[in-house]
């Protein structure tokens, strides 16, 4: 099999896509390949080469070798290369969007293109840090002081499938700005856009070894990245269970670890909220990207006085706002879930919800089911009400377009129920009373709290979780801290003891 394959995508065009392993600015092959499946059609798009331990080691060796010279390249030169990379992506944004839509099932216009634009924007944002990685001066005595300097790392980055290139950019943009060298492992479900992006990295002028991309499976390539003795850090986005495994493997050489893991985000609706706006935001925050968001507001808690009214508005908003269909159907804005395995998992959660006594109010009516495409892993927006804290659909992350609605009476009960979770990635609060909204938000155990909004994060703002939702903060200036380590220098001016 040749490195570049001609792939017919659902938009009707054929694209030449790289399928190899991008190591040291060269395309490599391996002994194995695996299928890449379009979740909207269940058809094989192409095959890509699979990285094993040998290939990961080769990529790490390249990254470690080039660090000897790359770390001394001036920050402004690194910034120029990042800006060039942003411009190259911008010039090719249509092709990247089509590839991402076919690979992940994202609606082309409303999701995939927006994701690509966000990568361009974040490259530009992080490029601004490349020549501003200052240390500090610390006075100790009249004849003594200390200075600190930041140093880049050789890093491994493991990327999820729900936002293949966008989530990768959350990691490689600050890492490149800090002068790190990188080995990225894409998800085996969505490898294509990162491979395509690797070609742009080379065109932008990054030296061999700075940016390496391997496609492969977590149990082999991911585990090797996590336990590799020559990596200084590993960054991961994905499930909490996998995050725990990565931490155990990273202990092999006590490498730095940052994790963005699962979530079961509560959205609180108080009786003084603008209910129509709350319903619209709750609809967007749950169903966008087919519910495949770590921060999706999959638990909605509504004050008893407005419970029934909110539910009616919410069901109305979901029906009006979301149309299930092919990623390449301009009328559709809710695509398939990623795989047959994920489809079956979500369906089993829906059955558990019914078995445990939750009331299904949307998700299996005849009109919804008739409108689903014949092929593909499509699940319509699904809503349960009268849910209780002990139900599986309330406690476990489903990662699909399924929401559980519960009731509360007092502010204290709302806070208690919201925090009754092993996760703490995000929370949302709707109220017109500023004092109430701030008091409640202060007590929520979540890394991001959206007030009268949901899932409207900005790349300039730190992002990360409490509890089992992760370690560290990505985005904003905080991300720079993830990709440097500090060295302290003690300066004795007088030379005397």
- Specify the pairing of strand 484-492 against strand 144-152: antiparallel
Distance CA 431, CA 411 (A): 11
Tell me if 426 sits within 8 A of 463, measured CB to CB.
Answer: no
Using an 8 Å Cβ cutoff, are 377 and 343 in contact?
Answer: yes
The candidate with the shortest Cα–Cα distance to 473, out of 454, 486, 487, 459, is: 459
SS (H, E, C) the chain: CCCEEEEECCCCCEEEEECCEEECCEEECCCEEEEEEECCCCEEEEEEEECCHHHHHHHHHHHHHHHHHHCCCCHHHHHHHHHHHHHHHHHCHHHHHHHHHHHHCCCHHHHHHHHHHHHHHHHHHHHCCCCCCCCCEEEEECCEEEEEEEEECEEEEECCCCCHHHHHHHHHHHHHHCCCEEEEEECCCCCHHHHHHHHHHHHCCCCCCCEEEEECCHHHHHHHHHHCCCCCEEEEECCHHHHHHHHHHHCCCCCEEEEECCCCCEEEECCCCCHHHHHHHHHHHHHHHHHCCCCCCCEEEEEHHHHHHHHHHHHHHHHHHCCECCCCCCCCCECCCCCHHHHHHHHHHHHHHHHCCCEEEECCCHHHHHHCCCCCCCCCCEEEECCCCCCHHHHCCCCCCEEEEEEECCHHHHHHHHHCCCEECEEEEECCCHHHHHHHHHHCCCCEEEECCCCCCCCCCCECCEECCEECCECCCHHHHHCEEEEEEEEECCCCC
HSE, CB side, 13 Å, CA atoms: give it for residue 192. Answer: 28
Strand 470-471 versus strand 256-260 pairing type: antiparallel
Among residues 100, 188, 223, 260, which one is catalytic? Answer: 260
Q: Annotated catalytic, 260?
A: yes
What residues form DSSP beta bridges with 137?
147
| CA 92 from centre of chain | 22
192-203 vs 93-104: helix crossing angle, rounded to 10 = 160
Can you tell me the distance from the alpha carbon of 264 to that of 419, in angstroms, rounded to the nearest whole number?
10
Enumerate the active-site residues: 260
């Amino acid at each position: 099999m040749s490195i570049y394959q001609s792939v017919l995508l659902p938009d009707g065009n054929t694209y030449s896509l790289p399928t190899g392993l991008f190591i040291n600015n060269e395309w490599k092959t391996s002994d194995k390949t695996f299928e890449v499946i379009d979740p909207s059609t269940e058809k094989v798009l192409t095959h890509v080469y699979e990285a094993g331990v040998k290939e990961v080691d080769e990529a790490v060796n390249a990254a470690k070798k080039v660090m000897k010279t790359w770390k001394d390249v001036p920050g402004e030169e690194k910034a120029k290369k990042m800006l060039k990379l942003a411009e190259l992506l911008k010039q090719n944004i249509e092709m990247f969007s089509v590839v991402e839509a076919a690979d992940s099932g994202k609606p082309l216009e409303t999701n995939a293109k927006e994701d690509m634009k966000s990568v361009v924007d974040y490259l530009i944002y992080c490029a601004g840090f490349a020549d501003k990685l200052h240390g500090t001066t610390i006075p100790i005595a009249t004849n003594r002081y200390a200075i600190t300097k930041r140093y880049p790392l050789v890093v491994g980055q493991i990327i999820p499938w729900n936002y293949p290139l966008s989530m990768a950019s959350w990691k490689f943009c600050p890492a490149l700005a800090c002068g790190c060298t990188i080995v990225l492992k894409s998800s085996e479900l969505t490898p294509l856009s990162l491979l395509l992006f690797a070609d742009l990295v080379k065109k932008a002028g990054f030296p061999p070894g700075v940016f390496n991309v391997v496609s492969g499976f977590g149990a082999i390539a991911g585990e090797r990245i996590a336990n590799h003795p020559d990596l200084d850090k590993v960054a991961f986005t994905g499930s909490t269970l996998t995050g725990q495994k990565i931490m155990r493997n990273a202990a092999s050489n006590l490498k730095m670890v940052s994790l963005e893991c699962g979530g079961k985000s509560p959205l609180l609706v108080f009786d003084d909220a603008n209910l129509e706006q709350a319903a619209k935001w709750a609809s967007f925050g749950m169903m966008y990207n087919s519910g495949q968001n770590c921060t999706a507001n999959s638990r909605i808690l509504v004050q008893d006085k407005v419970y029934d009214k909110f539910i009616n508005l919410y069901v109305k908003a979901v029906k009006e706002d979301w149309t299930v269909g092919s990623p390449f159907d301009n009328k559709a804005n809710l695509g398939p879930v990623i795989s047959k395995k994920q489809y079956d998992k979500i369906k089993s959660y829906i059955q558990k919800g019914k078995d445990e006594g939750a009331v299904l109010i949307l998700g299996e009516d005849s009109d919804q089911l008739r409108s689903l495409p014949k092929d593909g892993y499509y699940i319509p927006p699904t809503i349960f009400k009268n849910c209780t804290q002990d139900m599986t659909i309330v406690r476990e992350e489903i990662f699909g377009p399924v929401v559980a609605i519960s009731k509360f009476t007092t502010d204290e009960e709302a806070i208690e129920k919201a925090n009754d979770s092993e996760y703490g990635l995000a929370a949302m609060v709707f109220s017109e009373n500023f004092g109430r909204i701030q008091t409640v938000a202060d007590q929520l155990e979540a890394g991001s709290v959206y007030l009268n909004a949901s899932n409207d994060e900005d790349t300039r703002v730190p992002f990360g979780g409490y509890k089992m939702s992760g370690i560290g903060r990505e985005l904003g200036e905080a991300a720079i801290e993830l990709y440097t380590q500090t060295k302290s220098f003690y300066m004795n001016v007088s030379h005397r003891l």
